[in-house]
Amino acid sequence: MAEAVKLCCVACGQMNRVPAAKLAAGPKCGVCGAALADGRVFELDAAAHDRAVRGDDLPLLVDYWAAWCGPCRMMAPEFAKAAKAMAPAVRFAKLDTEAHPAVAQRAAIRGIPALVLYHRGREVARLAGARPAADIAAFVRSHVAAGTG
């Protein structure tokens, strides 16, 4: 059997097994049909955050942000560019710290924007402050290449 990776559908919460060789083909959730690794930035709620952080086999970069934060809003298009560039090897997601303060507190977010890279249930690295897409991609590559992948 081909190697499979587990991915959480952020739309319905279902865990999906996807053959690693088919990640570039745009896999969809077996329950709701939502895209799983298409290079878009996913919006997370508390339950999807916890499930994806714990269950995803692919590296997951989460942007902890808030709508009132100017640097967060300025970085959003750069974060989206990096997500497109790194798909399907890395998934990108955002969590609104104003809407989900308990999650931000559990993740020890002290300032925003804050990028936290997770892989297979553990935090790998953090990056604080607004960054251009090239810096975000380089940050992820340096930690994925260093043994998370």
pLDDT tens sequence across 12-58: 989 999 998 999 998 999 999 999 999 999 999 999 999 999 999 99
Q: How many domains does the chain have?
A: 1
Q: Which of 8, 9, 29, 72 is catalytic?
A: 72
Give the residue carrying structure tokens 């508390």: 46
* Residue 144's pLDDT band (cuts 50, 70, 90): confident
Residues 6+ apart with CB under 8 A from 10: 34, 42, 43, 44, 48, 52, 93
Is residue 29 among the annotated active site residues? no
Radius of gyration for the alpha carbons in the chain, expressed in angstroms and rounded: 14
Taking the C-alpha atoms of residue 59 and residue 74, their distance in angstroms, rounded to an integer, is 24
Domain range for 109: 4-148
Is residue 69 among the annotated active site residues? yes
Domain harbouring 85, CATH code: 3.40.30.10
Taking the C-alpha atoms of residue 86 and residue 91, their distance in angstroms, rounded to an integer, is 8
Task: Look up the pTM and report it.
Answer: 0.93
